[in-house]
Amino acid sequence: MTEIPEHLRKRAEEARKKAAGASSASASGGDAPASSSAPAGSAGADAPQSEAASKIPAHLLERAKKARQKASGDDGGDAGATTTATAPAPAAAATAVAAAAPPMAAGPGGHTQRLLTVVKSGSIQDVKATPQDKVHVWPHLLAVEFVAALLCTAFLLIFSVFVNAPLLTLANTNQTPNPRRPPGTSSASRSC
Amino acid sequence: MPNRPSPAQRLADLNNRVQSSQAWNSIFRPGSIFRKGYTDSPRNRSYVIMNSVLYHLHPVKVKRHAVKVSYTLCLGGLSFFLFILLTVTGIFLMFFYRPTAAQAWNDIYTLQTSVTFGLLVRNMHRWAAHLMVLSVFLHMARVFYHGAYKPPREFNWVIGVILLTLTLLLSFTGYLLPWDQLALWAVTVGTNMMGYTPVFGNQVRFALLGGAEIGTDTLLRWYVLHVLMLPFVIVIFMAIHFWRVRKDGGISGPL
Ligand code: HEM
């Protein structure tokens, strides 16, 4: 039932490729400064980045990578200089963003929203592939029901005209109807 | 003579007057197909179901085989219809019946001999009750032989068993109400059997009879069960039953 439109599928594929490329790059380049020279402050900022790399848009990853490269290039072997080196980083990142416009900004028709995910049909819903042969309840079922009800009523009415419900004599706890004699006087019990 | 309208004209006139009356227009709300005039189209066929609270028990469409009489034999539907008939005739009987040992039999006798259609309605109530037990049982057999109790319908089978039990209990409690020899002794036999239930048999019997033996208290007790409690409970379970039929994807397919 749910065919994914071709352009959406292509776009998702491209995005996935781009994300995969960027995350592998940040995994190799991003771990080094965090483990070797970065102070506690910047390590805290780095760690969640590499952890959630796959979910971060490609252009942000790019930006972070550039900033990190710049920082590690500046401080060289000097661990004490990193605190000053992190200060110009945001400025540099800002220029980088301004220079390279985010790749997601222009979709088909100038749309700015982003495709989050494509859910394949059948993964979360049970889609029936074959349409069922169905008929309208009215008139097909209701007519049958009506005729059945009519026949049933007619039968009951006619039967009730001719056959009466039983109404024996008033209830009498001193007389059992069957056998119609006092207990202990039947021939069956006497023969014992 | 030339001034008199023809019957066809009069009929059209009457039709016009009825359909533009306040009563008609307040019953058939704007947009109703009965107000606009029904023409056979898929959309109107759907509206018949969707715009009616009673027909809403049904989906708009059902599988083609589901409307074949030879599949369900209408037995479930007839069980329900007989229950409706029993309710209608039962309410009629209630107008003439008092559930005490001193009055019950006389009330039935008077109903039969001096109430218009009294005998007929009593007969109908009696025979419809028998017919309902029969049709519920046959409906169960139909479901069994179709294997329609299998998943996902196993829960509805359980509801069905409860419905069968309630139907039998309705039948049994009703049996006592005429307070004649047949009623008394049939129920004596039935409740004596209850007394042999292990452990708490006598307590069960005592509670159901409202005493050590059948008497006017039993009659009141069974009357309330018969006209109020059991119908109330069975209606609830029928509602669940019908709801389940639809939730399980309509009635089962042919084997
Ligand atoms: C007061 C009694 C009952 C009423 C009014 C009733 C009514 C219905 C109705 C209207 C249907 C739709 C299909 C059909 O008409 O056959 C149905 C289906 C069904 N009934 Fe009942 N029923 C009753 C008792 C029972 C009993 C005693 C059982 C079994 C123990 C049962 C089990 C089922 C099942 C499993 C279905 C689904 C059948 C299918 O999908 O083919 N019902 N019932």
What DSSP assignment string belongs to A74-95?
HHTT-STTHHHHTTTHHHHHHH
**Residue A117 confidence (pLDDT):** 79
Inter-chain contact A137–B61, Cβ cutoff 8 Å? yes
Residue A92 lies in a domain: yes
**What is the average per-residue pLDDT within A81-95?**
47
| pLDDT over threshold 50, residue A188 | yes
Contact assessment for residue B148 and residue B253, using Cβ atoms and an 8 Å cutoff: no
Q: Is the CB of B227 under 6 A from ligand 1?
A: no
Inter-chain contact B58–A142, Cβ cutoff 8 Å? yes
Using the 8-state DSSP alphabet, how is residue B191 labeled?
Answer: H
**What is the average per-residue pLDDT within B159-182?**
96
Cα nearest neighbour of A143 on chain B: B67
Q: Is the CB of B135 under 6 A from ligand 1?
A: no
- More confident of the two residues B149 and A85: B149
Minimum mean pLDDT range among A123-132, A159-168, B7-16, B205-214: A123-132
Verify that A18 and A89 share a domain, yes or no. Answer: yes
10 Å Cβ neighbour count for B210? 16
pLDDT band at B133 (very low <50, low <70, confident <90, very high): very high
- For residue B87, the CA-to-ligand 1 centroid distance in Å is 19
Residue A119 lies in a domain: no
Verify that A65 and A149 share a domain, yes or no. Answer: no
What DSSP assignment string belongs to B23-38?
HHHHHS-TT-HHHH--
Q: Which residues in A lie closer than 8 A to residue B105 (C-beta atoms)?
A: 167, 170-171
- More confident of the two residues B124 and B23: B124
| pLDDT over threshold 60, residue B221 | yes
Task: Return d(Cα B124, Cα B113) in angstroms, integer.
Answer: 16
Task: Return d(Cα A14, Cα A22) in angstroms, integer.
Answer: 12
Q: What is the mean pLDDT of chain B?
A: 91
**Residue B77 confidence (pLDDT):** 94
- Across A46-60, A67-81, B43-57, the highest mean pLDDT is recorded for B43-57
Tokens 């069968």 sit at which residue?
B164
Verify that A20 and A70 share a domain, yes or no. Answer: yes
Rg of chain A over Cα atoms, rounded to whole angstroms, equals 43
| pLDDT over threshold 80, residue B72 | yes
Inter-chain contact A134–B82, Cβ cutoff 8 Å? no
Supply B240's token pair.
């669940």
For chain A, the straight-line distance linking the first and the last C-alpha, in angstroms and rounded, comes to 82
Largest CA distance in chain A: 123
> How many domains is chain A built from?
2
Supply A143's token pair.
């007519």
Task: Return d(Cα B142, Cα B77) in angstroms, integer.
Answer: 13
Minimum mean pLDDT range among A38-47, A98-107, B13-22: A38-47
- For residue B76, the CA-to-ligand 1 centroid distance in Å is 5
| pLDDT over threshold 90, residue A48 | no
Establish how many alpha carbons lie within 13 A of residue B34's alpha carbon, considering only the half-sphere containing its beta carbon: 13
Helix (H) / strand (E) containing B63: strand B61-63
pLDDT band at B236 (very low <50, low <70, confident <90, very high): very high
Inter-chain contact B123–A176, Cβ cutoff 8 Å? no
B44-52 LR contacts (CB < 8 Å, sep 24+): B45/A136, B45/A138, B45/A139, B46/A136, B48/A138, B48/A142, B49/A137, B49/A138
CATH number for domain B74-247, candidates 3.40.190.10, 1.20.810.10, 3.30.43.10, 3.40.640.10: 1.20.810.10
Establish how many alpha carbons lie within 13 A of residue B249's alpha carbon, considering only the half-sphere containing its beta carbon: 9
For a substitution probing ligand 1, which of B70, B143, B164, B243 has the most ligand atoms within 8 Å of its CB?
A: B143
Task: Return d(Cα B116, Cα B96) in angstroms, integer.
Answer: 12
CA distances (Å), origin A182, targets A124, B147, B193: 75, 51, 21
Supply B92's token pair.
């009629």
Give A186→chain B minimum CA distance, Å.
18
| pLDDT over threshold 80, residue A142 | yes
Give A167→chain B minimum CA distance, Å.
6
pTM to 2 decimal places: 0.68
φ, ψ (nearest 5 deg) of residue B62: -130, 165
Verify that A137 and A93 share a domain, yes or no. Answer: no
**Which residue from B77, B81, B180 is facing A167, i.e. has the nearest CB?**
B180
Which residue segment(s) compose the domain that A12 sits in?
4-99
Q: Which residues in A lie closer than 8 A to residue B122 (C-beta atoms)?
A: 165
**Residue A102 confidence (pLDDT):** 52
| pLDDT over threshold 60, residue B129 | yes
What DSSP assignment string belongs to A88-139?
THHHHHHHHHHHS--TTS--GGG--------PPTTTSS----SPP-EEEHHH
pLDDT, tens digit, for every residue of A96-118? 545 555 555 566 667 777 777 77
What DSSP assignment string belongs to A8-33?
HHHHHHHHHHHHHHHHHHHHHHHHHH
Q: What is the ipTM of this complex?
A: 0.84
**Proportion of chain B above pLDDT 70, given as a percent:** 96
Inter-chain contact A167–B108, Cβ cutoff 8 Å? yes
Give B134→chain A minimum CA distance, Å.
13
Residue ranges of the domains in chain B? 8-53, 74-247
Verify that A78 and A145 share a domain, yes or no. Answer: no
